[in-house]
Amino acid sequence: MGRNGPAFLAYPNFDIYPQWNQSLNYAITAAYLATRLAGAPPYLPGRGTVENYGYKDILELQQLLNRRGFDTGGVDGKLGSKSRAAVKAAQLKFGLPADSYPSPELFSRLR
């Protein structure tokens, strides 16, 4: 969830989750549930507000990124791996924290 959300330490065995189901939310949830069943404590929610962008927001983001020359893999309203890579590349270019999660600052710079 970017620089403001919770952070998880993952080991190579985590890689099987996104191979089986490409949803990052599913993979993290399944892995987290496994750790909780094994006795791990609840995770901390993070240190700030995490923006929740919807389908139309992601469509706009992809269009803005593509116009600036960042390859999102297409405009489909889904924040997949190519779109996240484009977000990170734009964040690096604009001197923003490069966490691959869109932010109001990124939208502002792209506009």
Burial degree of 41 (CB within 10 A; 0-12, 13-18, 19+): exposed
Task: Identify the CA nearest to 56 among candidates 78, 89, 23.
Answer: 78
Q: What is the pTM of this model?
A: 0.73
Condensed to tens digits (0 to 9), the pLDDT of residues 35-76 reads 999 999 998 887 777 788 999 999 999 999 999 999 999 999
* Domain boundaries along the sequence of the chain: 11-43, 55-110
Instruction: For residue range 67-93, list pLDDT tens digits in order.
Output: 999 999 999 999 998 999 999 999 999
46-84: burial string, b at 16+ Cβ within 10 Å, e else:
eeeebbebeeeebebbbebbbeeebebeeeebebeebbb
* 98 Cβ contact partners less than 8 Å away, ≥ 6 residues apart: 88, 91, 92
